[in-house]
Structure 1
């Protein structure tokens, strides 16, 4: 008896990978950490797929698209990838953050406003999320 492996994404991944966006990664470094609110962040790419949000995961040997990078302190970035809290999906769930939703929000603000206003608006969005998830 043969078993069919269920494809977790309803859509196949795109054939062409998105271009790298060094301007966006520089922008991410201007923001506070999405988990702690501290500055001095690294651009942490969300690796797991979520086709609803347009993220089809990583191709072999590549990072996720830069659009799905979030600002994390070096300690949180290490924790994100360490497996100490389980999978990367488990890490984000433990923080009470939907990383795909937040990444799309930051990306949209970056695209819609001039640089300085985008920094202000993204910082405000991150800070609003921090007050929502912290006791």
Structure 2
């Protein structure tokens, strides 16, 4: 007997935009850059859609929801804006929607001190796996 795969209709984007979360963006600024590990980051919003991860892109004239922002140093943030955004994230080997959801979940689940420690560990582990962990000798 052949099995059938149920058809699941495409999910529609939400009717209202999510609320801005200034305290989340402020917390992101305490984390290292997800690309280089440097400090002094900016909140880089991921603009391209990925409905599987709950991101429907951005409306005309608006930023993407804060939940889809990542801590990125100024030079990498500028590079992100100077090329195709999906090509930028592919070039650094990061799934930005997955990482953004992970960081937002950590921020939501723990108090600020523990969230900062866990998120920093996750970012540095990702950099180590990619062979981009900054050397302590350069500090």
Asked if Structure 1 and Structure 2 have the same fold, meaning a TM-score greater than 0.5 normalized by the shorter chain, the answer is yes
For normalisation by structure 1, the TM-score amounts to: 0.89
* Residue of 86, 90, 103 corresponding to 1:89: 86
- Aligned residue pairs, count: 124
Any unmatched runs of 5+ in structure 1? Answer: 1-8
Q: Deviations over 1:76-111 (max 9, x none)?
A: 00000111xxx1001000000000000000000000
What CA distance in whole angstroms lies between the structure 2 residues aligned with 1:73 and 1:47? 17
* Residue of 109, 117, 124 corresponding to 2:121: 124
Q: Stretches of 4+ moved more than 3 A in 1? A: none
SS in 1 for 2:58: coil
Residue in structure 1 matched with residue 26 of structure 2 by the alignment = 26
| 1:133 matches 2:130 | yes
For normalisation by structure 2, the TM-score amounts to: 0.87
What CA distance in whole angstroms lies between the structure 2 residues aligned with 1:124 and 1:130? 10
Any unmatched runs of 5+ in structure 2? Answer: 1-8, 133-139
Name the Cα RMSD after superposition.
1.2
